[in-house]
Amino acid sequence: VGVMKAFGLFWPLGLYWLFQRQVPVGDNVKIKLSNSQWREKLTSDQYNVMIRRGTERAFTSPLNNEKRKGLYRCAGCDVPLFPSDTKFNSGTGWPSFWAPEKESIEHTIHPVYLLGDFGAREVRCKACGGHLGHMFTDGPKPTGKRYCINGVSLYFDPQDTTSGSTDAKPPNY
């Protein structure tokens, strides 16, 4: 009886621990830096979000209001992640997109998502493994997906669409 009572009291803590575990970045990333190298490269906010898997406060990113044509690139490694023509206003307070560039991101399953949106996934940069945000299944057509991305994980690269040139420089390079 004592064991059952203890189990009844502590199983929620075990589930909470399991659900809060983060899936480690795999060996399949192309760009591998040490924690100290990431700290040198990224701002403290970028490090907290991209490496420690944090979330920036809603409605704080200047990228929410970006309307120019161009590419949204990874703040950690400069890889193109989202074309501007896939951006939409989700009303959530984070830059949102309905589709990424091909082969630019990876999705990971986090057990806590199984309690809500079964299609929800963590989204990471495929090249450096940096945490970008989350993908949900309540987005607009044509994909029905909403990539809700932390603005500090991105930088905007405005492009001259006639020449393909760019005038943006990644932050902290």
By annotation, the residues acting in catalysis are: 148
The strand pairing partners of 67, in sequence order, are none
- C-alpha 104, offset from chain centre: 12
Helix/strand/coil for 131: strand
Task: Give the Cα separation of 70 and 164 in Å (integer).
Answer: 10
- d(Cα 82, Cα 147) in Å, to the nearest integer? 10
Residue 147 contacts residue 96 (beta carbons within 8 Å): yes
